[in-house]
C-alpha cells in the first residue's frame, strides 16, 4: 500500500533562519507531488507542485522553494524565514494519470516563526 | 486563471437541517472536482469526487453534482448531524498539468 510521510511535525524557528520540510511517498512511482500551506483563518494555498524529478512549478512567488531530488521525495525550503511563513504545511501526492485520482495528504507540519 | 470559489462561512445549522455549500470554479479544459473535509484536529480527507460533467459524487449522505453549464459543484446533505461539524474544501484537479487547486474552505457548525 502507498504511504506518505512528512517531517518534522512541529517546529519553532526564529525569523531569518532556514527551513527544510521533507516529504516522502512509498509504494508508488512517478507520483504528482504538492506542497500546500494552510494559514490561520485562510484556506489551502498551493505553493508548489511537481509532475516529475526536477520539475517544479511555483504558484506563489515568495521566499520559499521546493526541490524533488528523487522520484518520491519532495522538499520545501527557505533560506530566511519570515513571520508570515507561519502556518500548517501539507505535502500531498496523487497518481500521475489518469485524471481524477484521489489526492493523499501527509500528516502536516506546524511551523511557527518567532 | 484557474480558481475555486466557495461560499463564506461559518455556516451554522441545527441538527437534521438541510445543508448546501456552494462551490464554483474557473478552469481551462476539463477538470475533476473534489470535496475534502477536515474534522477538528485531523488532517484532510477526501469526501467525494466527480471526474466529468453530470457525474454525481456521494459519500456519507453528502452529494455533489458536476455542473459544467454553471461551472459548479455544490455540496448537499439532507440531514446534518453534529458530527458533520468540520471545514469543507472544494477543489479541482487539472488533468493536463496535475495541478490541484483548493477553495478557501467553509466551516460548518452543527448544533444539537
Pick from A45, A49, A100: which is nearest to B51 by CB?
A: A100
* Cis-peptide, bond into residue A98, ω within 30° of zero: yes
Contact criterion met (CB < 8 Å) for A107 and B43: yes
For the segment B89-111, the average pLDDT, to the nearest whole number, is 86
Indicate the residue of A43, A99, A101 with minimum beta-carbon distance to B105.
A43
pLDDT of residue A38: 81
CB of A32 within 8 Å of any CB in chain B?
A: yes
Higher pLDDT, A28 or B78: B78
* Spatial CA neighbour of B84 closest among B54, B26, B45: B45
Q: pLDDT higher for A33 or B29?
A: A33
Q: What is the dihedral of CA B102, A56, A64, A68, to 10 degrees?
A: 110
B34 to A42: CB separation less than 8 angstroms, yes or no: no
pLDDT in tens, B48-58: 999 889 999 99
Q: Which residues of B touch A (CB under 8 A)?
A: 6, 31-32, 34, 36, 43-44, 46, 49, 51, 89, 91, 93, 95, 97-105
Q: What is the pLDDT of residue A42?
A: 63
Alpha helices by DSSP H, listed for chain B, are none
For residue B14, the tally of other CB atoms under 10 A from its CB is: 10
Mean pLDDT of A55-69: 88
Residue of A nearest to B106 (CA): A43
Grid cell at residue B45: 480527507
Give the Cα separation of A89 and A107 in Å (integer).
9
pLDDT at A98: 47
Calculate mean pLDDT across residues B94-110: 84
Chain B residue with Cα closest to A35: B100
- What's the first-to-final CA gap in chain B, in angstroms? 41
- Over residues A68-80, mean pLDDT: 96
Task: Calculate how close chain A gets to B106, using CA atoms only, in Å.
Answer: 9
Chain B residues with CB under 8 Å of A94 CB are: 93, 98, 100
B97 or A23, which is more confident: A23
**pLDDT of A19-55, one tens digit each?**
999 999 999 889 989 999 986 656 788 899 898 998 9
Q: How many CA atoms lie within 13 A of B55 on its CB side?
A: 14
Categorize the per-residue pLDDT at A106 as very low, low, confident or very high, splitting at 50, 70 and 90. Answer: confident
- Looking at residue A65, its pLDDT comes to 95
What pLDDT is attached to residue A88? 87
Q: Does the pLDDT at position B2 exceed 90?
A: no
Cα–Cα distance list, A65 to A47, A48, A78, A79, B98 (Å):
9, 8, 6, 9, 19
d(CA A31, CA A50): 8
**Nearest chain A Cα to B101, which residue?**
A46
Please name the residue that has the C-alpha cell 474534522.
B39
Among candidates A46, A49, A102 on the partner chain, residue whose Cβ is nearest the Cβ of B46: A102
Contacts of B57 (CB under 8 A, 6+ apart): B33, B35, B48, B49, B50, B63, B64, B65, B66
Whether B40 has a pLDDT exceeding 50, the answer reads yes
Q: Which three cell numbers, joined as nine digits, stand for A6? A: 512528512
Averaged confidence pLDDT in chain B? 91
- Which residues of B fall within a CB distance of 8 Å from A10? none
Contacts for B46 with CB less than 8 Å, ≥ 6 apart:
A102, A103, B34, B35, B36
Amino acid at each position: 500500500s502507498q504511504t506518505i510521510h512528512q517531517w518534522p511535525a512541529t517546529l519553532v524557528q526564529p525569523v531569518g533562519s532556514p527551513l527544510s520540510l521533507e516529504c516522502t511517498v512509498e509504494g508508488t512511482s512517478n507520483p504528482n507531488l504538492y506542497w500546500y500551506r494552510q494559514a490561520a483563518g485562510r484556506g489551502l494555498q498551493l505553493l508548489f507542485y511537481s509532475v516529475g524529478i526536477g520539475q517544479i512549478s511555483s504558484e506563489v512567488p515568495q521566499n520559499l522553494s521546493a526541490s524533488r531530488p528523487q522520484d518520491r521525495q519532495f522538499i520545501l525550503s527557505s533560506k530566511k524565514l519570515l513571520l508570515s511563513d507561519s502556518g500548517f504545511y501539507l505535502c500531498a501526492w496523487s497518481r500521475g494519470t489518469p485524471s481524477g485520482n484521489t489526492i493523499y495528504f501527509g500528516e502536516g507540519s506546524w511551523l511557527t516563526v518567532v | 486563471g484557474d480558481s475555486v470559489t466557495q461560499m463564506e462561512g461559518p455556516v451554522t445549522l441545527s441538527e437534521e437541517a438541510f445543508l448546501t455549500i456552494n462551490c464554483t470554479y474557473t478552469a481551462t479544459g476539463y477538470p475533476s472536482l473534489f470535496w475534502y473535509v477536515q474534522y477538528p484536529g485531523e488532517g484532510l480527507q477526501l469526501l467525494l469526487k466527480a471526474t466529468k460533467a453530470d457525474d454525481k459524487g456521494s459519500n456519507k449522505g453528502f452529494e455533489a453534482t458536476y455542473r459544467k453549464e454553471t461551472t459548479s459543484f455544490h455540496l448537499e446533505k439532507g440531514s446534518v448531524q453534529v458530527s458533520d461539524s468540520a471545514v469543507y474544501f472544494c477543489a479541482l484537479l487539472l488533468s493536463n498539468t496535475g495541478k490541484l487547486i483548493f477553495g478557501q474552505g467553509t466551516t460548518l457548525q452543527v448544533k444539537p
